[in-house]
Amino acid sequence: MQNSGSRILYVDDEVGLCRLAQRRLSRLGFDVTVAHSGPDGLARAREGEFDLVALDHYMPGQNGLETLDALMKLPHVPAVVYVTGSDETDVAVNALKAGATDYMVKTASDDFFDLLGRTINQALDTRRILAEKARAEQRLRDSNAQLAMMLSEMNHRVANSLQIVTALVELQERRTRSDETKSMMRDIRQRIEAVSRVHRQLYASGGGARIDMVDYITGMADNLALTFASASAARPITVTADAVEWPAADAISIGILINELVSNACKYAYPDHSDGEVRVIFTARTNDGEPDASCGFLLAVEDDGCGVDEHAVPAGTGIGTQIIRAMADTLGATVTQTNTDPGLRTVIERGADGRQAAG
């Protein structure tokens, strides 16, 4: 028998019944100790660890429920089978609510102890399963904590590596004499920064897999504003973003899109040496009123500049446009550009499952 040798404490104020219980349960392979009152049972439970306590309800001085409450406060809490009268359903329910594993009705029939033995075995099996479940859950928590620590460390190392690459690109940018090359190096540096910022934020969050979009987009905007502002021309970049956490993989693509669109606006929307604002809007689609990444998003970048002349020769190398299309395809999103007179509004939009969202 799997539960053979289990230590059982039988608590009942009827001395004869305790002796009979000890004899009958011992034949089933249990190591049985008896106690004749609630305080006596508690004293024995404190002296040694029992696997299960069979506890009678009616006892002088301290009834079973009061004893059960004290048993639940022991360092080692045993399984408890609560023994009640045949018409005491409420008592049994209260015992289960208080922590009893099971209950049974006390009778004067010959098969009472056979039924008690089966109930004890079931209670011990239940306690063992729950203990194994708790251990498995703890191992899972420990494993998850270890994986989170490893992921956090990986994000830290990736962020550091990207920071080194950014520094090398910046060093090369400073040494080159060609304005065109400087501009290309600056664009490369900003693209790397968009990816690096995600990994820094993931590291700061302790190894999670989601990004706070307000912090992420605001940090990017501040960095871009410093990059493109000059003594003669301010480039304020304002951010309006929903306070949501977004999957890191999507956040990287969204960050690259913001970098390209804001950089284009800063470089081409306004004449040289003139002030001009750029606005970034990020809105999460909702599910029953709650933001939900699976429902999609809307990203818009706006300016009040000269707009786009469809018949003019495109400025720049065209790489930025290719990156925008590639990132939008990666996200399953659409790209729409509209001249707003004055200015330009570019919208990147994704509906649920990558479908175009309704406006």
In the structure, what pLDDT confidence band is assigned to residue 210 with cuts at 50, 70 and 90? confident
Please report whether residue 288 resides in a domain: yes
Residues 97 and 214 in one domain: no
Residue given tokens 């063992």 in the structure block? 128
Q: What is the pLDDT of residues 151-196, one digit of tens each?
A: 778 777 888 888 888 888 888 888 888 888 888 888 888 888 888 8
Residue 213: its pLDDT value, please?
A: 92
Residue 167: its pLDDT value, please?
A: 87
Domain limit, last residue, from 81, 106, 131: 106
Residue 106: its pLDDT value, please?
A: 86
CA 118 to chain centre: 42
Residue from 326, 276, 322 nearest 301 by CA: 276
Mean local confidence (pLDDT), 205-228: 86
pLDDT above 70 for 21:
yes
Residue 312: its pLDDT value, please?
A: 66
Q: What is the pLDDT of residues 275-325, one digit of tens each?
A: 889 999 999 998 887 888 788 999 999 999 988 877 666 666 678 889 999
Number of domains in the chain: 2
Please report whether residue 142 resides in a domain: no
**Which of these ranges, 13-17, 31-35, 94-98, 148-152, has the smallest mean pLDDT?**
148-152
Yes or no: say if 162 and 195 are a contact pair by the CB < 8 Å rule.
Answer: yes
Mean local confidence (pLDDT), 187-210: 80
Which has the higher per-residue pLDDT, 199 or 117? 117
Of the chain, the percentage scoring pLDDT greater than 90 comes to 48
Residue 317: its pLDDT value, please?
A: 66
Residues 214 and 352 in one domain: yes
Domain limit, last residue, from 106, 130, 147: 106
Yes or no: say if 45 and 71 are a contact pair by the CB < 8 Å rule.
Answer: yes
Please report whether residue 24 resides in a domain: yes
In the structure, what pLDDT confidence band is assigned to residue 358 with cuts at 50, 70 and 90? very low
Q: What is the pLDDT of residues 247-279, one digit of tens each?
A: 988 998 999 999 999 999 988 898 877 888 999
pLDDT above 70 for 26:
yes
Residues 213 and 339 in one domain: yes
Residue 160: its pLDDT value, please?
A: 84
pLDDT above 60 for 359:
no
**Which domain, by its residues, includes 39?**
7-106
Q: Taking CA 244 as the corner, what is the angle to CA 262 and CA 148, rounded to the nearest 5 degrees?
A: 105
Please report whether residue 250 resides in a domain: yes
Of the chain, the percentage scoring pLDDT greater than 70 comes to 94
DSSP H helices in the chain: 15-27, 38-47, 64-71, 89-98, 112-175, 179-204, 213-228, 248-264, 319-331
For the chain, the distance separating the N- and C-terminal CA atoms, rounded to the nearest angstrom, is 68
What is the C-alpha to C-alpha distance for residues 217 and 203, in angstroms, rounded to an integer? 17
pLDDT above 60 for 139:
yes
Residues 88 and 216 in one domain: no
Residues 239 and 352 in one domain: yes
Residue from 246, 315, 313, 248 nearest 285 by CA: 246
Residue 231: its pLDDT value, please?
A: 72
Residues 358 and 241 in one domain: yes
Q: What is the pLDDT of residues 104-125, one digit of tens each?
A: 988 877 788 889 999 999 999 9
Which CATH number do you get for residue 69?
Answer: 3.40.50.2300
Domain limit, last residue, from 106, 125, 146: 106
Residue 313: its pLDDT value, please?
A: 63
Q: What is the pLDDT of residues 63-87, one digit of tens each?
A: 999 999 999 999 989 999 999 876 7
Which CATH number do you get for residue 213?
Answer: 3.30.565.10
pTM reported for the whole predicted model? 0.59
Residue from 60, 52, 62, 58 nearest 31 by CA: 52
Q: What is the pLDDT of residues 334-349, one digit of tens each?
A: 999 999 989 999 999 9
Please report whether residue 169 resides in a domain: no
